[in-house]
Amino acid sequence: MAESCHNLALLREQSQGGIPADPAGALEAYQKACDAGVAASCALLGSRYGQGKGGVAVDRAKALELLRKACDLGDAAGCGDLAILTDDPAKSVALLQKSCDGGSAFGCHNLAVLYLHGERGLSVNLVKAAALSRKACDGKVAEGCTVLGAMYADGKGGLPVNRAKASELFSKGCEGGHQLACDQLKKMRKQGG
């Protein structure tokens, strides 16, 4: 029954299956599904409250509550979104690790960025950043492909300089809609790589 509420919410939100768009009805169905323990519904609702999208105003406290529930129920994306809203750097890193380990490519990418720049109490670790960017890219996160491409282009993170691999990764990033990857690919082609 709870999964049906989640699926109905998706249909109402996206105006599919002959069901007209109904943002308020979608929110109500997500809430019912979340209340019944559907982690994905809690995560989607939490994200909406965190960003003020989908017909709701920004409500950080509500977003944190819903994302915490989603994460506790095992939703990897919910853990990643919770990490972004969490003020405690150590908790944020732990949540991103949980998100990545749970299969969220975005969680892997966000954690890679922290290692790349040495943020939220982490030391710069380009080897970890490269490994996490590979997971993100494999999970179709365009930005992860771009970061990994740059590391191959410069021979960083324990990776050899490999312009062909960098070009391939920039191409993936560009195809995924990341403008920086498109720019880097264009630059490499001008340089003959």
Q: Is 187 left (phi over 0), alpha (psi -120 to 50) or beta?
A: alpha
Structure-block tokens of residue 85: 């809203």
Same fold, 1-75 and 86-193: yes
C-alpha distances in Å from residue 126, one per residue of 66, 79, 111, 141, 170 = 33, 23, 12, 18, 18
Mention the CATH class of domain 1-75.
Answer: mainly alpha
Q: What is the pLDDT of residues 119-145, one digit of tens each?
A: 999 999 999 999 999 999 999 999 999
What's the pTM value of the predicted model, to 2 decimals?
0.85
Alpha-carbon distance of 49 to 84, in angstroms, equals 13
**Quick one: pLDDT band at residue 55, thresholds 50, 70, 90?**
confident
Q: Where are the domains of the chain?
A: 1-75, 86-193
Predicted pLDDT at 153: 95
Q: Out of 2.60.40.1930, 1.25.40.10, 3.40.50.300, 3.40.140.10, which CATH number does the structure's domain 86-193 have? A: 1.25.40.10
